Amino acid sequence: MSEPAAVHELDARRLLCPLPVIRTQNALKALPIGAQLRVRCTDPGTLHDIPTWCRLNGHRVVQQDVVEREQVFLIEKGERS
């Protein structure tokens, strides 16, 4: 049985729009299709910006949480980069 794929991490805390989206985009470009990226943000605008960007670019938000003023997204890279 194969090991589950590692979840890659991106710390975008203390960054303001548009940097969390740009850093997410750059991190996903470096990953293979199907890889997962966990992004941690403190900019409340990312609650809208990151899911919208993912939808427009063919990626999937697997999970989205708010934990102690941090937005946490688990994103699966789609076929478009």
Catalytic residue positions, numbered:
17
Output b/e per residue, 26-65; b: 16+ Cβ within 10 A.
Answer: ebbeebeeebbbebbbebeebeebbbebbeeeebebeeee
**Contact predicate 61/54, CB 8 Å:** yes
